[in-house]
Structure 1
Amino acid sequence: MGSHPDSKTSIWKTNISMLVLRSNPLRFKIVRLSDSRYDAVDLVSDSDSESEYSDEEDVSWHCEIFDSKSWEWKQSDDLNLTYYDSFKNTQDVSACGGLHWLMFNHEQDKYTILSFEGDKEERGMTSLPDSLGEKIVRVRSPMCHSKGNSG
């Protein structure tokens, strides 16, 4: 158990998050979402094209879950998003036994929360009320934290 969890997937565009389910004894899960449009990218190719997808196709994100109990990665069902859905450049939130990511749909001009429930390993999407979305636009995330200060 002294080695790090190893996954066989080559990843270009990813969201990696860790969820602590229990602290004593330690039990955690790591969720890795990777954009499937980059699956066909040739690492040695000089081509300017990054994928075979057209600009407005729906996007599948591969979902891999590492469980510290089994010390193994497993492939979960892909997460299917529209071309207009994007992860916002914010920190994921670990709360209430789950992971939560802020997302934005550019076509609908709406914020949503993508959630992953740790014990059941289920995902769900929840739309935010418009009034909350307006507050998100006005608030900026700090670039970094150091000794209690943001900068």
Structure 2
Amino acid sequence: MVIPSLIQIVWAGLWLLIFGVCGYALWKGGPPERFGAALILLVALLGGLIEIGLKDNARQVGHLAADGLLAMGFLFVAVRYTSLWLGGAMLFQAVQFSLHAFYFVLKRPYDPLYSIVNNIDLFGVLSCLLAGALAANGRARARPAEAA
């Protein structure tokens, strides 16, 4: 019997969290939450492909580019829609971009500190998206009650 390591459990849990939160936002969120969820899913899948397909040096550039893509996508959504959750997600994304830039510029290999900050940051972005989707769902439920 193979016992999964803690890293494998955390990795699987983060993927479940990504798909769960983004799925909920796509299902119950408003337009900005749906667009944000689609962006997060796209960049998460792109990040998985980067991990599988690129070597160490190219991997850092790939992650930096993917985080830049997500930041630009959030900026587009923020210009189009004004949502409080986007402000928090953009701040977390700035930390994420800075993390990748720090490791890239100093040519540091990924270490436990990188993993911890990266995972906490991902949890923050997903928390902001979930809060936005919950708020959008609450507003949608309140509209029919107001009309009656």
Asked if these proteins are the same fold (TM beyond 0.5), I'd say no
Greater relative contact order (Cα < 8 A, sep 6+):
2
Higher strand fraction (1 or 2)? 1
TM-score by length of 2: 0.25
